[in-house]
Structure 1
Amino acid sequence: MTGEKKLVLVIDDDEDIRFTITEICSQAGLNAIAAPDGQKGLKLFIEKKPDIVLVDYHMPKIDGLATVKRIRKTDATIPVLVLTVDERQQIADAFLDAGATDFALKPIKAPDLISRININIKIGELLRASAREQKEIFVDKGINNATLRLIVNCLKATNSTLAIEDICREVSLAYPTVHRYLQYLVETGNAGFDIFYGCASKRGRPRNLYYLTDRGEAMSLDLSGQANH
């Protein structure tokens, strides 16, 4: 990144995790401030106006889900990255519905965390641009325009079908986030999937391989047009 350092707000009740994340951010050229709970985190959020917020799920007083909801009432575009050990999709869906943009799983790995932070800061910038142009930021509950554009463009750029894991690597977003957006694209007819069972000698769980439909191709052009205005 160039210019002024981006500011990261970390809200987590674990002192060791707060220290670790602030150190990782510092080494990556980011500024970081931290709060031990949701109540103090919300106060810092209002005072310091960070570029991104990292929120722990399980916290006393105000848990992560309630914290995300309160942040989103104040700011519709700030990227919110949820820190959690819980990989259940229903938990991810609840956070996405509340306004979270992505997830980082504990234990934290520095390269993965920085990648998540950088891509979500970019998403935040795209959302703010949409807000300035008075365009729709959220196309549906838990689905924002900027993240949707990243995933649609990823599908459009490939000449073959992609598994969720492939898309996660390409766009640097967490599995639960990508899964939710693909589910939305399939439900709205913008994407489809083939089921891949593998060869007979390698039995295992079948994988869904996703692709854009003709409707999705048209959607990608529309999203690209929004980005260029």
Structure 2
Amino acid sequence: MSDSIKYILAVDDEPSMLRLLEISLRQAGYQPLTARDGREALEVIQAQKVDCVVTDLHMPRMDGLQLLKEIRKTDTELPVIIVTAQGEIKSAIEAMKSGASDYILRPFDLEELELAIKRALSFSRLVVENKFLREEKLVNTGLIGNSPVMQQLTASIRQVAPEKATVLLAGETGTGKEVVARAIHAASPRNNALFVAVNCAAIPHEMLESELFGHEKGAFTGAVKERIGKFELADGGTLFLDEVTEMPMQLQAKLLRALQENVIERLGGNRPISVDIRVVAATNRNPLAAIKDGKLREDLYYRLNVFRIDLPALRVRKSDIEALAEYFLAKRRVAISDQAIQLLMQYDWPGNVRELENVLERAAIISGNQMIQPEHLPAEMLNHSVALSATNLDTDGLTPTKHADDAPVVNVLSLPSSVEALERQLIVKALAFTHGNKSKAAKVLEISERSLWYKLSQYGIS
């Protein structure tokens, strides 16, 4: 938990009791605030930050129960502890039903009060964390594949995970930078705390500072209440900053200070808040090129680049494609044929693992969740396979014919049957795409309409 000072509001109409609570809270390390009844307490809550309320039940103008109900109209998370007399258990139970965090009975000792406050603050943080976890999309932290580059990546994760060192992940879009960041967190001593991810490119620049560092009430138009930022939320855990080079330069300076001093300030505030987090940053740019282009501060780069991991593109670890395909399709309980796997292995995957996952999801839908065959894959993959097969064939596999100009051409009938099957599938897909319009289909296939008619006859396509 963050060691920033907690503000506790004590509400009681008896001056002596209020003074005793004030002294006790200060001795316990809290910043005390006081109010003499419910209405005054609401004014305090409206005016400034309050982390917990300790209120008497019976007071003039507005009692503790009504104060609780008013607080819950606008804030469901602020801890409220009810103080009541021994003979008023029913009132305490009613208060708990109305959303009180806890209650203590008069007369109470100060240790009992301090324990109740600690319990309420801890529960409040759990509520915030659980809310975040419900909203956070769960992503599998496993790394799929056993290629040499993946073995090297796994070794790097094991090496850095136990440390607190900042990690910089560099790799193309879709290579799984967040998956690696989560794997680092899962293997670290911080795995019982939160993993908090922020995509710096997806959040408008004017909102990113508040998202990271939080804001105080009234910090800007629309800031009707204070908000905890991702730095505070990740306290004790890991903060993942994706696409960090997309962060505005001015904000990069504030990030650098936070990393160097382990202290942040909320937007609109001037209270230093200590945080204990491990930062993992990621970029799909070349960091040095980003510095040259004015997208990344050089001093921030050196602060982030304590331990760098370069993520391999899928095209350099194609031996992992079959394992990845089986992993993604297991969710749907769908199998994939060897022929389809071969097509996946021949493709270069500019979108990397993310593209592979999307292609397989689409193929599963097209196949009706039956075994995925080559014809269920995108046309560009079939086209790429035909072109690749034709390029890789040696002259022994070709039957050249002569035209009037003696230029040798490849007779389609002499190509291997697997290539013929792929070409037939391409033609069928093109006709389906153009709703049977052969002229348009020929343009899609980049052949003449006459050649298309010939192939339709050759393959028996009606």
Cα deviation for residue 131 of structure 1 reads 3.1
* 2:67 is equivalent to residue 45 of structure 1: no
Cα deviation for residue 228 of structure 1 reads 7.4
* 2:76 is equivalent to residue 76 of structure 1: yes
- 3-state SS, counterpart of residue 100 of structure 2: coil
1-side partners of 2:44 and 2:116: how far apart?
A: 22
* 2:63 is equivalent to residue 63 of structure 1: yes
For 1:214, the equivalent position in structure 2 comes to none
Identical positions, percent: 30
- 3-state SS, counterpart of residue 104 of structure 2: strand
Cα deviation for residue 91 of structure 1 reads 1.6
For 1:110, the equivalent position in structure 2 comes to 110
For 2:100, the equivalent position in structure 1 comes to 100
Cα deviation for residue 78 of structure 1 reads 0.9
1:125-166 Cα distance to aligned partner (Å, 9 max, x none): 11122333457xxxxxxxxxxxxxxxxxxxxxxxxxxxxxxx
8 Å Cα contact 2:78/2:124 also seen in 1:
yes
2-side partners of 1:95 and 1:24: how far apart?
A: 24
Cα deviation for residue 58 of structure 1 reads 0.2
For 1:182, the equivalent position in structure 2 comes to none
2-side partners of 1:68 and 1:119: how far apart?
A: 18
2-side partners of 1:134 and 1:46: how far apart?
A: 28
2-side partners of 1:67 and 1:76: how far apart?
A: 13
Structure 2 unaligned segments of length 5 or more: list them. 136-192, 196-462
Alignment of 1:28-43 (within 5 A): 28-43=28-43
Higher share of residues assigned strand = 1
Cα deviation for residue 86 of structure 1 reads 3.7
8 Å Cα contact 2:84/2:92 also seen in 1:
no
Query: RMSD of the alignment, in Å?
Result: 2.2
Q: CA 1:86–1:42 in structure 2 vs 1: closer, same or farther (change >3 Å)?
A: farther
**Rg larger for:** 2
For 1:153, the equivalent position in structure 2 comes to none
Cα deviation for residue 107 of structure 1 reads 2.0
Q: Which has the higher contact order (CA 8 A, sep 6+)?
A: 1
1-side partners of 2:111 and 2:71: how far apart?
A: 26
Q: CA 1:100–1:87 in structure 2 vs 1: closer, same or farther (change >3 Å)?
A: farther
Cα deviation for residue 30 of structure 1 reads 0.7
2:130 alignment partner AA: S
2-side partners of 1:132 and 1:59: how far apart?
A: 37
Q: CA 1:2–1:23 in structure 2 vs 1: closer, same or farther (change >3 Å)?
A: farther
TM-score norm. by structure 2 comes to 0.29
- 3-state SS, counterpart of residue 53 of structure 2: strand
Cα deviation for residue 53 of structure 1 reads 0.4
- 3-state SS, counterpart of residue 94 of structure 1: helix
Alignment of 1:42-191 (within 5 A): 42-134=42-134
Cα deviation for residue 19 of structure 1 reads 0.7
Structure 1 unaligned segments of length 5 or more: list them. 136-226
1:18 alignment partner AA: L
2-side partners of 1:37 and 1:112: how far apart?
A: 23
- How many residues are matched? 139
1:147-190 Cα distance to aligned partner (Å, 9 max, x none): xxxxxxxxxxxxxxxxxxxxxxxxxxxxxxxxxxxxxxxxxxxx
TM-score norm. by structure 1 comes to 0.56
1:39-77 Cα distance to aligned partner (Å, 9 max, x none): 010110122221100111000011111000001111111
For 1:184, the equivalent position in structure 2 comes to none
2:122 alignment partner AA: K
